[in-house]
Structure 1
Amino acid sequence: MEPTWLCPDLAARDRLLDMDERLRRPRALAFGLLGAGVVAAVPHLGWQPLGMLAGAIVVLLVASRLAKRVRTPEYGFALSWAFAQSMLALAVALTGGIESYVLSWLVVPLVTVPARFGARGVAAAVAFITLLVLVIAVGVEPSQPLPRGYATSGFLLTLAGVSILSFALMRSDVDHRTEAVLDGLTGMLNRRALEQRLDELRAQAAITGDHVAAIVADIDHFKRINDEHGHARGDAVLVGVADRLRTRLRAFDLAYRIGGEEFVVLLPGAGTDEALKLADELREAVTTEPIEEQRVTMSFGVAATSGGAFAADELLAEADAALYVAKAGGRDRVIAA
């Protein structure tokens, strides 16, 4: 699938589809509240506004279901959003025009645009809503067919709808950030988080002159566990190892799973001796008792900077080389670079 104006890269399209799925229930609840407001107005306006709102909801549902079957789902979502917004604008026109108590309803669907379409989508959406408001202001004679109580209820329904969608977007953002830096199996930080932390430590060390140590660890004969007992058992062993490692770390030491059965521990302010001591404690923590009825051992490579600015790649390469020596020397041991 090729990039488009609304989705300039494939990642933007993936996020669009993901966000639509996450917003499905909150959006239904928000529109349900607006629908309740329309139902309350039936004695004054008849059933026509409710029919328009129902039509908007149906179009949104159809667009959502068809999205994954077409090459450019973003345009389907955009058109369905524009249709829903037009139906709301028509409801505003029928309930008093620019003086309608429910004019603020036009803001509710706008809340979902930034997370799905980005800056271009927001600009287009704001322009479209502005056009709708101008058409209503110019083309509809202001009136007020609804009782005064709708001024309060209309605003409160808008507030509730915006709050529901905003909370859903906030939760989605938290989930995305968590998924971006956490390993889904062990709950440890991942390689991306490791790179970010190394950048931070490098900048800090250049100013403070502190040491930074790295421990690279690898589960011995992990492939044998997978081959003999299955990947489910292997995954359980990885989770157990991660738990053992966490129990021996200081609050400011961070452990990362960087792929397969390999782990990294960063020790800000630590030198080689301190890192060697901790690495041996970690080794013992893993080896002391079986994990998932398996005797598990780990090999460790340790490296530390001399203080001040350092190259992250070189630090990890030195620790990795020491790990290789530990593996070649019989495993279940700690070696310093």
Structure 2
Amino acid sequence: MRPPPAESRAMRWLRGDAQDRTRFADMYLRFRRPYVFGGAVSVAKVVGVPWFGLPLVALFLAGGLTMVGAVVVQRRLRRPSEPVVAAAVLLLQLNLAVVVLLTGGATSPYLVLLTIPLFSQAVCFRPPVLATGAALTFLFAGLAVLFADTLPAVPAAPSTVGLVAFGTVLLCLTTAARYLASADLHSRDGAVLDPMTGLYNRLTLADRFVQAQEREAATGGSLALVMCDVDHFKSVNDTYGHARGDAVLQELADRLRTGLRSTDVAYRIGGEEFVVLLPGRDAAGAQRVAERMRAAVADTPVAGLRVTVSAGAVSAPAAQASLPELLWAADAALYAAKDAGRNRVVTGVPGQRLVIPPHPAAAHPLLVPPLT
């Protein structure tokens, strides 16, 4: 198995650990207000054009192109990318700093707008990245104010321009604060993380599936699932004790996350069973991910023990995908893999049942037979 490419130190700092990356993907997928920020800032710039002239029009267009470019790149990548979002935020901060520079520096009605890019950082990024963004904002503001004194004086804009800018900040701040508050309540009420492994638990899978489905269906993409299960896990508990079994599950969870994209989210759905949601993957892509996970476990002892996993992979067009049917097909493929000798991957097809040993679907809270 080829190991995933090593990340640079800067990339590791930006992306953080696996839990930070999962949070970024989750927050990015759930946060649907970046256009509110961009639209509000654009309106504030346009209001000042009669007093500050064509440079403000050019900066308005540059800011719009930055946001559109970030969206296009994200769609081509088919996943939210921390570097793309961070670069877009940095460019928007620079854009606003130039606006402040050309509209009066310390007296510019747009000085307060420099805080707005921080709101998106607060939503998506971990605290060290946010702190760095705040420091850069202060630096850009300081440079804009200092160098504005060296430029010719600009006409004073009426107080309405400053009032519009202040209202823009209030709108964006309220939008970000409401989202963060609702996301925090959702997380606490849903108990989203499995305390043993740090993975999302089964209660969050349906919600995340709907969000991923909406995004992929809009671009004609696919949704895939991989369901895997530790082979002979009962023997591990019986022979080495439950503490050793817990250690196996914890290390296994870390390995399952290795090599996943930021949108490929792993869940522990019960016992020794795990599911990985793979937005944008077709059946072949899901098979490759499942095989990579299987090899990552089989190639090296887990918590000092030789263990293996069996996996079932399945994919469907996002517009037609159904979580119960995908789970059913992935579960059927998983049991076919076990019946074929374990330590292998089988690919299933939604709506087509594989010949597998019977087992009670009702025993699993997420699995129900697909409707026919």
Q: Taking structure 2 as the reference length, what is the TM-score of the superposition?
A: 0.46
* Post-superposition offset of 1:67: 4.0
* Post-superposition offset of 1:183: 2.5
Residue 22 to residue 71, structure 1, CA distance change in 2 (3 Å): closer
Would you say 1:10 and 2:18 are equivalent positions? Answer: yes
* Post-superposition offset of 1:262: 6.2
- Runs of 5+ consecutive residues of structure 2 not aligned to the other structure: 194-201, 208-323, 329-360
Q: Give the aligned partner of residue 321 of structure 1.
A: none
Q: Give the aligned partner of residue 59 of structure 2.
A: 52
Would you say 1:150 and 2:157 are equivalent positions? Answer: no
Would you say 1:180 and 2:192 are equivalent positions? Answer: yes
Residue 150 to residue 124, structure 1, CA distance change in 2 (3 Å): same
Aligned match of 2:89 in 43, 66, 81? 81
Would you say 1:111 and 2:122 are equivalent positions? Answer: no
Residue 49 to residue 186, structure 1, CA distance change in 2 (3 Å): closer
* Post-superposition offset of 1:140: 0.7
Conserved in 2, the CA contact under 8 Å of 1:20 and 1:64? Answer: no
- Runs of 5+ consecutive residues of structure 1 not aligned to the other structure: 188-230, 236-258, 264-291, 293-337
Name the SS for the 2:171 alignment partner. Answer: helix
Q: C-alpha distance in 1, partners of 2:362/2:14?
A: 37
Deviations 1:102-137 (A, max 9, x none): 211111111121332212201210111111011012
Runs of 4+ aligned structure 1 residues displaced above 4 Å come to: 184-187
Name the SS for the 2:126 alignment partner. Answer: helix
Q: Give the aligned partner of residue 226 of structure 2.
A: none
Q: Give the aligned partner of residue 122 of structure 1.
A: 130
Q: C-alpha distance in 2, partners of 1:45/1:151?
A: 13
Name the SS for the 2:44 alignment partner. Answer: helix
Would you say 1:170 and 2:170 are equivalent positions? Answer: no
Q: Which has the larger radius of gyration?
A: 1
Conserved in 2, the CA contact under 8 Å of 1:92 and 1:102? Answer: yes
Deviations 1:257-283 (A, max 9, x none): xx97368xxxxxxxxxxxxxxxxxxxx
| Paired AA for residue 192 in structure 2 | A
Q: 5 Å matches for 1:51-70?
A: 51-67=58-74, 69=77
RMSD of aligned alpha carbons:
3.5
Conserved in 2, the CA contact under 8 Å of 1:99 and 1:143? Answer: no
Conserved in 2, the CA contact under 8 Å of 1:63 and 1:76? Answer: yes
Would you say 1:26 and 2:26 are equivalent positions? Answer: no
Aligned match of 1:40 in 41, 47, 66? 47
Q: C-alpha distance in 2, partners of 1:161/1:118?
A: 19
* Post-superposition offset of 1:54: 3.2
Residue 43 to residue 71, structure 1, CA distance change in 2 (3 Å): closer
Deviations 1:303-325 (A, max 9, x none): xxxxxxxxxxxxxxxxxxxxxxx
Aligned match of 2:363 in 261, 270, 289? 261
Q: C-alpha distance in 2, partners of 1:42/1:136?
A: 19
Residue 135 to residue 53, structure 1, CA distance change in 2 (3 Å): same
How many residues are matched?
A: 197
Q: Taking structure 1 as the reference length, what is the TM-score of the superposition?
A: 0.50
Identity of aligned residues (%): 22
| Paired AA for residue 41 in structure 2 | L
Q: Give the aligned partner of residue 248 of structure 2.
A: none
